[in-house]
A and B are shown apart, each in its own frame.
Chain A
Amino acid sequence: MNVRVLLRTSALLVAVGLIAVGIFQPIEAEGRWLLFLWAAAPLLGVAAWLTVPPTVPSLARNVGNIGLVILIGFALLSLQLLRQQVLYADTIYHHVAVAADGSTTSNVRPVINSQRILRGRMFDRKGTLLADRTSVQGFAHRTYPIAERYDPAIFGHVLGFFSTRYGQSGLESFYNTYLTGERGNELERLRERLVGGTPQGNDLTLTLNADLQAAASAALGGRVGSVVVLDPRTGAILALVSQPSFDPRGLTFNPAAASWEAENLRVSQYWQQLIADGSQQPLVNRATQGLYPPGSTFKSLTAIAALEYAAEGQPDTITCPNTFLPQPDAPPIVNAVPNLAGLTGDPSDLERVFAYSCNTAFAQYALRLGPERMSEIARRFDILPPQRGTTNYAGFRELPTAQSLLYVEPGFLNMPRALADTGYGQGQLLVTPLHMALLTAAIGNEGVMMQPYLVQRITRPDGGQITSHVPRPIRRTMDTNTARIMVQHMGAVAAYGFGSSVDNFTPAGVTVGGKSGTAEHVPGARPHAWFIALAPLEAPRFAVAVMVESGGEGSSVGAELAGRVLGAAFATE
């Protein structure tokens, strides 16, 4: 009798164990779960059979055993239902199967559901309607009323596209749950689920200024590059342009079209065109994802380091020789302009070497400070050594980003020549335009770097507010005094240095500051043109970073572009 109990218990335990382990197998290992389940089935049978006291064969016993087998069958069905409908329901719901020939299969329900929902609208900071929606025979359709005034492609990277076929990008993607009403509107969704009705999403109010965005895009013209305008006091993104861009209408399926087949073809052709080789990757947001050497704009960070560590940096004890040899076995560093000492004076000071962008001077600062202090200051601005796993910039998540890097190869800064190159913005530095705008904004905000953001407010369809962004500092990056000195030095650039054309487009009486950058990227190619700018200097309201890929001289091309953007910022404020 004891043997029976022991056998029964162990059979039951093993069966339950098999099921418990099997039911949590991932859906890719469905075969293993089925194996475990079928292995557990006879064990369950044995356990049940041992539970019933043995009797002589009779119809009642036989039928009872048949019933037992049938019960176990139904138990297996129930367990499988539990797994498919509860435990792994979400995973299966979103599962995308890729066949051997590369074709994919996914659930049509999310697509159908997304077409039932009237996605929320998007407004700019002045209330201009950027993205709207209509309903065509029960199918929701994203429209872009801004098209009456500007090309919607100007807003493509910020708004993103919404496609039933190719997914979402930009704010459409990051705020998807709010735009569909899944979040922020739970009561209403519950009511719709119970009594029906067309679900309506929540509206976004952006920090973007549509007029400034359009003006910045126009100033960039057909060139490949980015413009970022921030409010240094809050971190609000006023403009964020990346070119080339895409027209979100091109990827939006229009249910009102006469032929759905032709409409599908139009969408897929536009998609193919966007992802084609040689299309210059219009789906990449260069302002937040483009990693470039920052050139001389980075001298502002070296200058900050020299001011913060004044004892080691000796900011106002500096020379600007024509060549400087940091490492005997490496070629010397030269200035972009010969005989720069004639302009900076010899000996010079930080303001003048900054205004005239003297490479050899900033190479010396970097060597004086050493790799640790340079790294430490860069870290304050979230410009980091190469990290494992982190490829996105954690400080800004509303759009896809890339993490800016101080260098790429481990130990790079330990070589004096490499450290010196980094000091004036070359080396292995890789920085996004957004990041240079953040650094500029931090200088303009007395040293406090604010978290950048694009969405100011999320409101329900009835106008009730769900969330509102409260400006958040990332951290204090420098002493208030350092920031004040840096503002003065940037002012000197506009006043008499390289890049003085930056204040040609701003209203009279507005003081402007900035720093140019001319970044070498591929030997022999035209350099990238950079410019960062701040205005008005007394109390900065605009921090600008512009960059034109292979655009030429930062002090001319970059300064003019930044100047035009600043001018538009004041004109459209």
Chain B
Amino acid sequence: MLKRLRQFRGIEFQLLFTVLLFFAAGYLLVMVATQQREFVATVPGLLSILWPSTLPLLLFIAVSVGLSFHSPQADQILLPLVALLAGLSLMLTARLEPSLNALYRCSTPDGVVFGCYEAIDAKQSLWVTLGVVGMAAIIFLPWDRILIRNLRLSLIDVLDHYRYFWLASGLVLIGATFIFGVDPNNSGVNLWFNFGFFLFQPSELLKIILVIFMASYLNQHREVVAGGYQLGPLTLPPLPYLVPLAAMWGIAMSTIVFQRDLGAALLLYGVFLAMLYAATGRAWYVLAGLIAFGGGAYILYQLMPIVSLRIQVWLDPWATARGSGYQIVQAIYALASGGIFGQGLGMGVPAIVPAIHTDFIFTAIGEELGLAGALAVLIAYILLIFRGFHIALRIPGRFRGFEQLLVVGLTSIIAVQTLIILGGNLRLIPLTGITLPFISYGGSSILINFLIVGLLMRISAQTGGR
């Protein structure tokens, strides 16, 4: 009993409880400010507003308590940070739902008019709940025992060993997108699978699969003596690095050409470069990779209208403020109206920015919570990312290089994705349509991100220490 008490994950529990209070206060505020629910200042009145919405947050606490018994050594900071971001997501979705429905009206063929975004808050709650359950499944299920019995390998070893199987399934996934993909929001590309009850974005899964493959591959070729190939005056990286570099470059470019998904291309390539550097420590590989990407992007800029359009909008959105620049111009206005402390939750008009609940959700934070809120979110991401790297560096020994690279890769996904979408939102780089991890509305994104956290937690549980 005393041992159990000593193992109690107090830091995590306290932080999660704080997040719960933060979420409850914010959610009540949103409900009152947007007048969705009558505010009754009694305990049952408050609970009736809060009840189903706090379920994901309570699940977080349940997971934390479970971890105290199951793997007390696992990282204690990761979960509260994720809970904070996910809670913010639920709060913002609840806040944006009535505004979006008031602004965007859809109609059925028989003429019944309704808001286009009805019940997005409930759906997002469901995704976060499912995400937490999925994360718990990764952490708590005895994967090692199951897999050892069947494949004679632990979970990590399965991921490491069957790398070409993962690569193949990734390629199958890409191919399947072309065949079975659908285009629900008329973006011009088929990036989604329609499972009837929900739409899944395979590129979300693809990034994890590629990270697993790259971690395994790079770990295997870690000890390559840097010789390099002489190609005329150029010194090329040694073959084991040159091949994946060229392959990733090809994948990124073809993603742009065939799927017009600049965000995914940039993300996959960025994560790959981070992992390549982590494995080799050679900055000039990364530089060469960046130059190759820049060169390819420049050629595509000349050839592909969508790329050149994105660049033009980036450089001067005001010139096409009523056309293609509309979204970014409205986002600039929204941010400017936020000021230091923001308009207050529910008091701004963020919904006029298209895709405010997905790609541009950070703009809503900037408008209603101001610079203070926006910086707080940035800091939360920095802590989350650095916690991920911290886990990677806690993994002892040279025989667990795969795990190290895997954790670096998974963390880089979150980091690079955050930087790309926020850079696009704030007009530091051309805008590309990807989600803000944990905060943007969307099922696939939420599920995959929780999957990543599950893996990080599981690995950290096996490294020991804090």
- A interface, CB within 8 angstroms of B: 30-31, 34, 37-38, 57-63, 65-67, 70-71, 73-74, 76-78, 80-82, 84-86, 88-90, 92-93, 97, 99-100, 103, 105, 107-109, 112, 193, 196
Contact = CB atoms under 8 A, between A and B. Distances in A.
Contacts of B280: 57, 62
Contact of B336 (A60, A85, A193): A85
Interface in B339-397: 339-340, 344, 348-349, 352, 366, 370-371, 374-375, 378, 381-382, 385-386, 389, 392-393
Contact of A62 (B277, B349, B375): B277
Interface stretch (B90-98, B178-186, B317-325, B441-449): B317-325
Nearest to B398: A59
B265 interface: no
19 contacts: A58-B281, A59-B392, A61-B281, A63-B389, A70-B382, A70-B419, A74-B382, A77-B419, A80-B427, A81-B366, A85-B338, A85-B371, A85-B374, A92-B333, A97-B329, A99-B319, A105-B329, A109-B348, A109-B349
B219 to A, nearest CB: 11
B336 A84 contact: yes
A67 B333 contact: no
B274 A80 contact: no
Given A85-B366, A86-B339, A109-B333, 6 more contacts: A59-B404, A60-B393, A81-B371, A84-B336, A85-B371, A86-B340
Contacts of A105: 318, 321-322, 329
B281 to A, nearest CB: 3
B419 A73 contact: yes
A67 B322 contact: no
Contacts of A85: 335-336, 338-340, 366, 370-371, 374
Contacts of B352: 108
B278 interface: yes
Given A63-B278, A74-B378, A97-B329, A86 B371 contact: yes
Nearest to A71: B382
Interface string B128-165: 00000000000000000000000000000000000000
Nearest to B407: A63
B320 A99 contact: yes
Contacts of B401: 59
Nearest to A104: B321
A84 B335 contact: yes
A196 B35 CA distance: 12
B84 interface: no
Interface residues of B, number: 53
Interface in B93-135: none
Nearest to A110: B337
A65 B378 CA distance: 19
B371 A97 contact: no
B20 interface: no
B340 A97 contact: no
B171 to A, nearest CB: 27
Given A78-B378, A81-B375, A59 B393 contact: yes
Nearest to A69: B274
Contacts of A90: 336
A99 B329 CA distance: 12
B238 to A, nearest CB: 15
B299 interface: no
Contacts of B320: 99
Contact of A66 (B278, B321, B349, B428): B278
A9 to B, nearest CB: 22
Contacts of A67: 385-386, 389
Contacts of B319: 97, 99-100
A84 B340 CA distance: 10
Given A74-B381, A82-B371, A97-B318, A66 B389 contact: yes
B415 interface: yes
A107 B333 contact: yes
A39 to B, nearest CB: 13
A60 B394 CA distance: 10
A88 B335 CA distance: 11
Nearest to B422: A77
A66 B375 contact: no
Interface in B389-432: 389, 392-393, 401, 404, 408, 412, 415, 419, 422-423, 426-428
A93 B337 contact: yes
Nearest to B378: A74
A99 B336 contact: no
B315 interface: yes
A78 B389 contact: no
A76 B428 contact: yes
B321 A81 contact: no
Contacts of B415: 70
Contacts of A71: 382
Contact of A93 (B33, B336, B389, B419): B336
Contacts of A82: 371
A89 B339 contact: yes
Given A66-B278, A82-B371, A88-B336, A77 B423 contact: yes
Contacts of B335: 81, 84-85, 92
A62 B336 contact: no
A29 B277 CA distance: 36
B385 A70 contact: yes
10 pairs of A and B residues whose beta carbons are closest in the complex: A57-B281, A105-B321, A92-B336, A97-B318, A85-B371, A107-B333, A80-B426, A73-B419, A89-B336, A97-B321
A63 B395 CA distance: 13
B332 interface: yes
A74 B415 CA distance: 10
Nearest to A106: B333
B374 A81 contact: yes
B396 to A, nearest CB: 11
B337 A66 contact: no
Contacts of B422: 77
Contacts of A196: 33
Contacts of A76: 423, 428
B339 A37 contact: no
A119 to B, nearest CB: 20
Contact of A103 (B281, B283, B322, B371): B322
A90 B338 CA distance: 10
Contacts of A193: 344
Contact of A109 (B337, B366, B381, B389): B337
Nearest to B275: A66
A81 B320 CA distance: 23
Contacts of B427: 30, 34, 80
B408 A63 contact: yes
A67 B390 CA distance: 10
A67 B274 CA distance: 10
A515 B366 CA distance: 65
Contacts of B278: 59, 62-63, 66
A81 B426 contact: yes
A61 B389 CA distance: 11
Given A66-B274, A71-B382, A77 B337 contact: no
A80 B375 CA distance: 11
Contacts of A92: 332-333, 335-336
A77 B281 contact: no
Given A59-B278, A62-B277, A84 B322 contact: no
A76 B401 CA distance: 32
Contacts of A61: 281
Contacts of B329: 97, 105
A73 B381 CA distance: 12
Contacts of A59: 278, 392-393, 401, 404
A77 B427 CA distance: 9
A100 B316 CA distance: 12
B377 to A, nearest CB: 10
Contacts of A70: 382, 385, 415, 419
A85 B337 CA distance: 7
Contacts of B315: 31
Contacts of B375: 78, 81
